[in-house]
Amino acid sequence: MTAQRIDGKALAARLQETVAARTAGLGATQGLRPGLAVVLVGSDPASQVYVRSKRRRTAEAGMQSFAHELPEDTGEAALLELIARLNTDPAVHGVLVQLPLPAHIDPMRVLAAIDPAKDVDGFHVVNAGRLATGQPGLVPCTPLGCMMLLRERHADLSGLHAVVLGRSNIVGKPMAQLLLAENCTVTVVHSRSRDLPMLCRQADILVAAVGRPELVRGDWIRPGATVIDVGINRVVRPDGTARLIGDVAFDEAAAVAGAITPVPGGVGPMTIACLLANTLIASCRQAG
């Protein structure tokens, strides 16, 4: 391996420490304790793992964690009612509804019901619009974490060609906006793009966020490029045990790239640390 390994676990731990220290300071100086409500509908096993981890880390940062677990057959109206209550609860500064939702619930209607000031996921159209137009709002956690990881390698991103592989509302689109704001030349490519390997080889910075295990091979990488792997794919080995792998074939890519994030231990830990940072920001703004 020749590439620098960008350690998301260590960076996330430092960010969480900073957030915890500021949270303690808010309590001491203003009597303010940031609160995050995490709502889970149904019992998707992966979502349960993510939600538990978000709650644990919230408490570790000294914030108040509000857990709402609703059964799979919860109606959309009942979920909207809960969100309306959380929107007006002064102890709740952040509201997160874990996705995906059961098929009978319209996620767009649910996300639109969250007060944009409490939308710590940054998924509300108001926050997406603010990001697209360069106004301060709340920024989606995973792309925010990716930008922090990129800054470990690049003090200045200006003029670099960034290729974002994936066009989801959660990662690909906001990632492209953040890179544009840093003066990158941005290309968004996706499953219908022609000649993905050729397009990816143009990248000084490659962000892979397609959810396809090891889709990106070593010969897709430009020598010296920085590779950010957002994929968290659970694959089961022949002996029945499971492991997590990214969207990038790590060993092949690390032989060519200048820097690369591992899976696990790259983007994943940054997402939750950024969620805590967003909750802190939201609580400070709401306190005026």
To ligand GUN, the closest distance from the beta carbon of 100 in angstroms equals 7
Tokens of 219: 């010969």
Is 98 a binding residue for ligand GUN by CB under 6 A? The answer is yes
Choose the binding region for ligand GUN from 94-102, 157-165, 207-215, 261-269 (rule: CB under 6 A).
Answer: 94-102
What is the Cα–Cα distance from 110 to 107, expressed in whole angstroms? Answer: 5
Nearer to ligand GUN, 278 or 283 (CB): 278
| Residue 68 vs residues 38, 40, 183: alpha-carbon distances, Å | 6, 6, 40
Nearer to ligand GUN, 96 or 150 (CB): 96
233 and 211 in contact (C-beta within 8 Å)?
A: yes
Scanning the chain, the segments in alpha helix (DSSP H) are: 8-30, 45-60, 76-88, 107-113, 125-132, 141-151, 172-181, 196-200, 250-254, 267-287
Q: Which of 99, 180, 245, 255 binds ligand GUN (CB under 6 A)?
A: 99
Is 142 a binding residue for ligand GUN by CB under 6 A? The answer is yes
Contact string 165-184 vs ligand GUN (x = CB under 6 A): -----x--------------
Q: Which of 119, 121, 214, 247 binds ligand GUN (CB under 6 A)?
A: 121
Nearer to ligand GUN, 28 or 103 (CB): 103
Nearer to ligand GUN, 26 or 232 (CB): 232
Rg of the chain (C-alpha set): 19
Is 70 a binding residue for ligand GUN by CB under 6 A? The answer is no
Is 279 a binding residue for ligand GUN by CB under 6 A? The answer is no
- Tell me which residues are annotated as active site: 54, 98, 121
What is the Cα–Cα distance from 113 to 108, expressed in whole angstroms? Answer: 9
Size of residue set near ligand GUN by CB under 6 A: 8
Range 54-59 contact pairs with CB under 8 angstroms and sequence separation of 24 or more: 54/96, 54/272, 54/275, 57/16, 57/272, 57/273, 57/275, 57/276, 58/276, 58/279
Cα distance from N-terminal residue to C-terminal residue, the chain: 49
To ligand GUN, the closest distance from the beta carbon of 92 in angstroms equals 15
3-class DSSP state of 98: coil
Residue whose C-beta lies closest to ligand GUN? 99
Footprint of ligand GUN (CB under 6 A):
96-99, 121, 141-142, 170
